Amino acid sequence: MIKHLQDTFTLNNGVEMPGFGLGVYKVEDGSVAEEAVRTALENGYRSIDTASFYDNEKGVGEGIKNSGIPRDDVFLTSKVWNDEQGYTSTKQAFQRSIDKLGTDYLDLYLIHWPVKDTFVETWKAMEELYREGKVRAIGVSNFHVQHLEKLFANAEIISAVNQVEFHPHLTQEGLRAFCHQHNIQLEAWSPLKRGQLLEEDIIQTIAKKYGKSAAQVILRWDIQHDVITIPKSITKERIIANADIFDFSLTDEEMNQIDAMNQNDRSGSNPDSFD
């Protein structure tokens, strides 16, 4: 379990990835994205997660550049979108992403969704990008077990990360066990279920005990499950508060209480029906 904002997990290829970072889904490109990223980095964050679909890679790149933090000290993730998938188009999408980001490499490149007819070819392109040193690690997002098994059957390199929706209403126990068995690091998007969990009685009770916010309790639950977590925010106060989770610990009983909130309920799409 990470104990500091800049602590890392070792991925299956030996690359160190921070266990906590900033997500920028639906963050407006330009000055809004630039300021959010710069603020996060100035306040100790070292991992930024974007995607071509978010249409804010240019602002993210500007935020990194203007933060004063060396590029090599920032773990930068982007993703290839559904209509960019396929062998040749993935290579082209990657180049567009790094051009917008103002960098010549990514730390992590993910397949955004398992588009059934193309993700195997997409992965072949990503394996080549990895071998060429343009990406330090490659992985997937929103992959169920069956998608990972299909990828295993056709891949030479095992995915380093699986970024999925994960929160107390969607604890993904089977998928977590499978990823742990195969040394694939789980990463959580929408860890707060887009704000839908903040009024839950169990969360509120635990938050009052520790003098923390409901969001901080949920994010703490994530990291105690050894799940990399990337909450989104654009305000300085919340960016700082989200990372203020390393001065308390949830008990085993509290972890179990939060685990028991599972409803297998998603705020986003189900990968089985999203294509």
Closest CA to 263 of 176, 132, 170: 170
CA distance 32 to 27: 7
Alpha helix segments (H runs only) across 197-243: 201-210, 214-224, 236-242
* Residue 108, strand partner residues: 77
CB atoms within 10 A of CB 58: 17
**Residue 106 DSSP symbol:** B
Residues 6+ apart with CB under 8 A from 72: none
- Is 109 a residue of the active site? no
**Contacts of range 249-254, beta carbons closer than 8 Å, 24 or more positions apart:** 249/220, 249/224, 250/206, 250/217, 250/220, 250/221, 250/224, 254/206
Catalytic residue among 54, 87, 105, 109: 54
* Order of all β-strands in the sheet with 228-229: 22-23, 47-49, 75-80, 108-111, 138-141, 161-165, 185-189, 228-229
Strand pairing partners for 220?
Answer: none
The three state secondary structure string of 225-236 is CCCEECCECCCH
Residues marked active site are found at: 54
